[in-house]
Structure 1
Amino acid sequence: MSELSETLSETKTALRAAALARRSSVSEDDRRAAAAAVAARGLPVPLPEGAVVAGYAPIRGELDPFPMMQALAARGARLALPVVTGRGTPLLFRAWRDSDPLPRSALGIREPSPDAAEVTPDIVLVPLAAFDGNGHRIGYGAGHYDCTLEDLRARGPVVAIGLAFAMQQIPAVPADAHDVVLDYVLTEQGLLTFRSR
């Protein structure tokens, strides 16, 4: 690892820790209200017929995407959730419905059954620890979403929408060459658009 990459990594680690501490201070009532506000706001892009929308099972105080996913399913979206295959490797996505069980993986993350069909999402709802006004995000350091979005974009069009509390925005994320820019970030307070950049 170069000296610059090492410095970026250390800076991200500190920013991540601070952002997660702030996020953990959000009350349960505020979490529910934020998830409802994001669901009511809806997608910033049209929902094509039969589109696959990949969300995530929230962990560590992430904004809950399930209310939005349920609203999208009612409009005809097919839902999916990610499955972790290994550190630094793309996630795979399996079909999921609200009534399906979500067993915990070896990492303790709720994931669809291994029997669920593998699908390719058209829209990915992306969790994050922090984001900035340029569409850069800080995740948890494993690189899952960076390599996943890079892989999906190499195969075809996909829309990446970060879901977050507005208080997760920071002035700047130190971006490395492998960091993927989001198309949008949706919070309880509004929408940030980065697609034209």
Structure 2
Amino acid sequence: MTPVEDVAAQKRALRVEAARRRDALDPSDRSLDSLAITRHALAFLPEERHAVAAYLAIRSEVDTGLLVSLLRQTGRVVGVPAIEGEELRFRRISEGDALEPQGFGTNAPGAEAAEIAPAVILAPLLAFDGAGRRLGYGRGFYDRAIARVRQGGPVLVVGLGFSAQLVERVPTDERDQTLDAVITENGVLVPSAAASRTR
């Protein structure tokens, strides 16, 4: 097995375990923890009215419904991911917008919605580690989108997850984008310099 194949196999195994662990969380606890994550996110994010790329939760992800609403109420422009071919684009979402299926259980405003250029990206995840490594669902949509946005200038990339999703190490390859911070129900985790050196 080549090193690339080995990393891919490690990711597949961790995805199964991470999804099982997140799905096993009590729904009531997930709801309460999502509220705590919302509070921490509002306190942590820059006060400037930057455009924010959020997401609409699927499966057992952190529920972002209230966070999206409150971000908009503070005057921020908020977008959510829409799948265009093999790329994610962040389309502006407003109150009452009709949403269209995007595949993989996700929904977003239609193609007529304006695309935003986010200064902040809030990313879902299956697992994360202390160095800011993120494990997604395996299609690379977020990694490509984050890389593209970072090419255009500074962007704050924040993962939203439950503390139960923290693992010792997420296997990565050269295509994977790291997070600047992770927000859980316990607060904000900023990757340590020591952990980052082991990437």
Q: TM-score of the superposition, structure 1-length normalised?
A: 0.92
Distance 1:163 1:107 in 2: 19
1:24-46, CA deviations, whole angstroms, 9 ceiling, x for partnerless residues? 11122112101110111224231
Distance 1:13 1:187 in 2: 23
What's the CA shift for 1:106?
4.5
1:9-59, CA deviations, whole angstroms, 9 ceiling, x for partnerless residues? 00010001000001111122112101110111224231313x111111111
Aligned-residue CA RMSD in angstroms?
1.6
1:94-125, CA deviations, whole angstroms, 9 ceiling, x for partnerless residues? 10023212222344421112211111111110
Q: Could you tell me which residue of structure 2 aligns to residue 71 of structure 1?
A: 70
State the number of aligned residues: 193
Q: Could you tell me which residue of structure 1 aligns to residue 48 of structure 2?
A: 48
Deviation larger for 31-40 or 159-168: 31-40
Q: Could you tell me which residue of structure 1 aligns to residue 188 of structure 2?
A: 191
Deviation larger for 76-85 or 38-47: 38-47
Q: Could you tell me which residue of structure 2 aligns to residue 17 of structure 1?
A: 16
Is the 8 Å Cα contact of residues 122 and 160 (structure 2) preserved in structure 1?
yes
Q: TM-score of the superposition, structure 2-length normalised?
A: 0.91
SS in 2 for 1:42: helix
SS in 2 for 1:35: helix
Of 108, 111, 135 in structure 2, the residue corresponding to residue 111 of structure 1 is 108
Structure 1 counterpart of 2:21, which letter? Answer: R
Distance 1:164 1:4 in 2: 28
Structure 1 counterpart of 2:39, which letter? Answer: A
> Runs (4+) of structure 1 moved beyond 4 Å?
none
Q: Could you tell me which residue of structure 2 aligns to residue 144 of structure 1?
A: 141
Q: Structure 2: state its 5+ residue gaps.
A: none
1:71-96, CA deviations, whole angstroms, 9 ceiling, x for partnerless residues? 22221111100111234x3x111100
